[in-house]
Amino acid sequence: MAINQAKDPKTGERVLATVQDKVVQDVTGEEGTGIWSNEQAVATHIPAPTLTVAHYFRLASADRRQRRKAQEAMGGDFPFQKMEVKDKDAFIEDLRLAVFASCLASFIQGLNIIDKANREHHWNINFNEILQIWSGGCIIQADYIKSLLQPVFKDFESKKTLNLLLESHIMKEIKKSKPSLQRIVGQAIQTDHVVPAMSATLEYIKYQTSLGKSLSNQSVNYEGS
């Protein structure tokens, strides 16, 4: 929260407003993990929309000149509007769960990619050791997500697949967070806030748990029908 509130002592302007998107620009093509994750997602045929859209957002951020010219060509942009929040505490809780669901979805997608590649290439990865390495570095700093993964990783050798979509205790967390994620994405869409990772996560949750009923079996009401 400190960076959100910090002000330039000379101008009195909030520092965050002057950052623009320089922090996430990467014009040298050294995105590393983002590129590798997306390449492997395609190669292993694993849906990873949260990871993919996050990287695309980074690429778009790197080309501010193009976005400026596109804005000029359109004759304007879509400035975000203020969200009308009646219950601040409830909104913050929804936002917390929406972010949590997106983070958890990222881990599900990333680990499903690693699991598929591990089985295809016979790497014999020790996932329990990976968890310890990650939690000691910069990848997993979320204790709660680590606690969700620990029982799965502990018994990984007895499993035919480490697909986290099949772990009931993890999917219960996703189910619990889904209404909050839906409310946040819905409000963001209505007020032109840009939330691509959250939007992608919401759709991912829906289609990864759907049996794909045909449109004729769904309840759709059209005017005059």
Structure tokens at 17: 């407003």
Would the pLDDT of 168 be above 90?
yes
Q: Which pLDDT score, from 0 to 100, does residue 34 have?
A: 79
Contact 51, 107 (CB under 8 A): no
Kindly state whether residue 222 falls inside one of the protein's structural domains.
no
Q: Is residue 158 part of a domain?
A: yes
Rounded Cα gap, residues 146 and 131, in angstroms:
8
Report d(CA 197, CA 188) in Å as an integer. Answer: 12
- Considering its fold, how many domains does the chain have in total? 1
Does residue 148 contact residue 170 with C-beta atoms inside 8 Å?
A: yes
91 and 97 Cβ atoms separated by less than 8 Å: no
* Residue 158, both tokens: 């007895």
How far apart are the C-alpha atoms of 76 and 81, rounded to whole Å?
Answer: 15
CATH of the domain at 32: 1.10.1040.10
pLDDT digits (tens, 9 = 90+) for 65-102: 898 999 999 999 998 899 889 999 999 999 999 999 99
Question: Which residue blocks in 75-142 are alpha helix, DSSP H?
Answer: 88-121, 127-136
| pLDDT above 60 (res 42) | yes
In which domain, by residue range, is 167 found? 21-76+86-208
How far is it, in rounded angstroms, from Cα 44 to Cα 116? Answer: 6
Say if 220 falls within a structural domain.
Answer: no
Q: Work out the mean pLDDT of the chain and round it to a whole number.
A: 84
Rounded Cα distance, 97 and 102, in Å: 9
Q: Is pLDDT larger for residue 15 or for residue 189?
A: 189
Is residue 223 situated within a structural domain? Answer: no
Residue 190 has pLDDT above 80, yes or no: yes
